[in-house]
Copies of this chain bind each other. A is one copy, B any other.
Amino acid sequence: MKHEIVNLSIDEMPKEWYNIVPDLPEPLPPAKDPEEGPSRIKQLENFYTKTSLELDASKERWIKIPEEVWELYVHVGRPRPLQRALRLERYLKTPARIYFKREDLSPTGSFKMNTTLAQAYFAAKEGVSRLAVETGAGQTGTAFAFSSKIFGLQCTIYFVRFAYNLKPDRATYMKMLGAEVLSSPTDRTEIGRTFLKKDPKHPGSIGIATAESLQDAASRDDTVATVGSSKNHVLLTQSIIGLETKKQLDSIDEKPDVMISCIGGGSNFYGFICAYLKERLDGRLKTVRFLGAESGASPRLTKGEYRYDFTEPSKSTPMAKVYTLGVDASLPLIRAEGIRSSSTAPILSLLRSKGMIDTRVYAIDEKDVFEAARTFLQVEGFLVAPESAYAVRAAIDEALEAKKKNEEKVIVFNVSGMGHVDFQGYREVLKDI
């Protein structure tokens, strides 16, 4: 390759999202209602936009990116660079070639904007005037705050208390963008009040914040709930990451041996791997490994069961067949709040059950993971989000194994976000900074 950065021109940016559903090795198990209680499936239209529900059910392989959303992708800096980590390779003395995709260059600092711009567009087009948003690490919330503003929508954000307290700057960021930001659990919703009753200082969780946003949306005609990850339409809208990545690797005649990202709900992971996943399902690519970096705090794909479960603790949306630790499981707190969740996307869960996704699990203290982020910062110069640090850690581990075996492996990982608003977490774990 000529330079260590592989850019695409704006005109080369994909015009369609890729929906893997028609290409899955077997039909995706449908959402279903529990045996008792009211139908959750019938409730869905009280929560979400029609468009997102249609996309969740779509079996079209290629779905046109609406022009307005495509232009906004350009506005926020897409296509994003793919970069060769030459300095990291030299530092590790590995024969592996390492590449990373720069989703950290998004203006709000993460890949989330790929879906939030689309979701806000759908809402505005359907005449909705307000979004109810859940956010764990704060990446989803910031991206929705911006996307709402662009489309003239009001925006209320349920921000997991633990992360809210850890990152006051994230809340300021969302407020400066014009959003209302609440520390979840709140006393605004029934489910919030239930948790506050048990513990007035309850640290919250993505599940609780999601449940609050759903109850908010159901209680008002002008409001829909948004979705940060997991659901088919979120994975779909993230496919832009991987479609770009494949074009970039093709342009330098490179094929990945292993593709790595951190994995929570799974949308950045799916978005990143989707184009090569398609090639593998088509039988064109035999050897690529897809590797999700999980936290020991919520090792769903590694230690969970593949079964029907609810995906948020209010149990007001249908059950899905997912890898789950149990929707009511209490998960230890970590700084990478964005990947602490009880289950992973149905699409990825099915693929995991077919043996198509590998995982690595990292310790709850996050020391090894954050040390990898520090190494990456000192060697390459880019400060990644705590969640993305898991991908960095896994990429380094793969590169070191390639060194042991003297393998000329191609490792490609996704930097899902930047860490400029995550210093408190880094300080607490690394201690000497």
Q: A9-B7, A172-B433 are in contact. Are A381 and B178 (CB under 8 A)?
A: no
Residue from B3, B105, B168, B383 in contact with A173 in the complex, judged by beta carbons closer than 8 Å: B383
Cα A173 to Cα B382 with chains together (Å): 11
Q: Are A377 and B433 in contact (CB under 8 A)?
A: no
Which B residues are CB-close (under 8 A) to A427?
172
Min CB distance, A74 to chain B, in Å? 6
Q: Which residues of B contact A178 (CB under 8 A)?
A: 378
Chain A, 74-129, CB within 8 A of any chain B CB: 74-77, 81, 87, 105, 107-109
The answer, yes or no, to whether A169 is at the interface (CB within 8 Å) is: yes
Out of B7, B74, B87, B177, which one reaches A10, CB within 8 Å?
B7
1/0 contact string of A361-376 vs chain B (CB within 8 Å): 0000000000000100
Bound-complex Cα distance A282 to B369 (A): 55
Complex CA gap A433/B175 in Å reads: 5
Residue of B nearest to A108 (CB): B381
Q: Mark A409-433, 1 if CB is under 8 A from B, else 0.
A: 0000000001011010011001011
A146 interface residue (CB < 8 Å to B)? yes
Known: A105-B105, A421-B420. A383 touches B176 (CB 8 A): yes
Does A150 lie at the interface of the complex (its beta carbon under 8 Å from any beta carbon of B)?
yes
Nearest neighbor of A167 in chain B, beta-carbon distance: B423
**What's the nearest-Cβ distance from chain B to residue A79, in Å?**
10
Q: Verify B381–A107 contact, CB threshold 8 A.
A: yes
Q: Does A5 contact B (CB under 8 A)?
A: yes
Pair B76/A381 contact, Cβ less than 8 Å: yes
Contacts of A4 in B (CB 8 A): 71, 74-75
A149 at the interface (CB under 8 A from B): yes
Alpha-carbon distance A172/B418, docked complex (angstroms): 15
Q: Across the two chains, which residue of chain B brings its CB closest to A145?
A: B378
Asked if A423 and B172 make an inter-chain contact with CB atoms under 8 angstroms apart, the answer reads: yes
Interface residues of A in 117-148 (CB under 8 A from B): 146
**Are B77 and A5 interface neighbours, CB within 8 A?**
yes
A176: chain B residues at CB < 8 Å are 374, 377-378, 383, 423, 426, 430, 433
Docked Cα-Cα span, A207 to B420, in Å, equals 27
User: Which residues does chain B contribute within 8 Å of A109, judged by CB atoms?
Assistant: 420
Q: How far is the CB of A164 from chain B (nearest CB, A)?
A: 14
- Which of A2, A169, A427 is packed against the most chain B CB atoms within 10 Å? A169
Q: How far is the CA of A418 from the CA of B7 in the complex (A)?
A: 22
The residue in chain B whose Cβ has the minimal distance to the Cβ of A373 is B176
B75 touches A177 (CB 8 A): no
Residue pair A3, B74 in contact (C-beta under 8 Å): yes
> Which residues of B are found within 8 Å of A374, using beta-carbon distances?
176
A172 partner residues in chain B, CB cutoff 8 A = 423, 426-427, 433
Give, as a whole number of angstroms, the nearest-CB distance from A189 to chain B.
Answer: 24
Would you list 28 pairs from A and B whose C-beta atoms are within 8 A, ordered by A residue?
A2-B10, A4-B74, A4-B75, A5-B10, A5-B75, A7-B7, A7-B10, A75-B87, A75-B381, A76-B381, A77-B105, A107-B382, A109-B420, A146-B381, A149-B378, A169-B169, A169-B420, A169-B423, A172-B433, A173-B423, A175-B432, A176-B374, A176-B377, A176-B383, A177-B377, A177-B378, A421-B421, A421-B423
- 6 closest Cβ contacts across the A-B interface? A420-B420, A169-B423, A175-B433, A172-B423, A176-B433, A107-B381
Q: A175-B433, A176-B377 are in contact. List 20 more A-B contacts (CB 8 A).
A: A4-B71, A5-B75, A7-B10, A75-B381, A76-B381, A87-B150, A107-B383, A109-B420, A150-B381, A169-B423, A172-B427, A172-B433, A173-B383, A176-B374, A176-B423, A176-B430, A177-B377, A418-B420, A420-B421, A421-B423
